């Protein structure tokens, strides 16, 4: 079985100086039914920027 997760890679500031978290999607194999073993992660070619304040209580 396969699932998707987002792994935080780096913190980047946008043009206004607001910190964002660069995340990369990873595929996680949760059971060994395919050629991959359980717990194996494989990076996908999809990224996103998420405002740091959405992930933490930054600045409080």
Q: Computed over its alpha carbons, how large is the radius of gyration of the chain?
A: 15
Each of the 60 residues of the chain gets a pLDDT tens digit; together they read 678 888 999 999 989 999 999 999 988 877 665 555 666 777 788 889 998 888 877 555
Q: What pLDDT, on a 0 to 100 scale, did the predictor assign at position 4?
A: 85
Q: Is the pTM for the entire model greater than 0.85?
A: no
- The answer to whether the beta carbons of residues 13 and 22 sit under 8 Å apart is no
**Distance between CA atoms of 21 and 9, rounded to whole angstroms?**
7
What is the model's pLDDT at position 29? 75
What pLDDT is recorded for position 33?
A: 58
């Amino acid at each position: 079985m396969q699932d998707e997760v987002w792994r935080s890679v780096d913190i980047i500031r946008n043009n206004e100086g607001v910190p964002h978290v660069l995340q990369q999607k990873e595929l996680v194999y949760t059971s060994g039914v395919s050629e991959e073993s359980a717990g194996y992660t494989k990076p996908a070619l999809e990224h996103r920027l998420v405002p740091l304040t959405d992930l933490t209580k930054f600045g409080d």
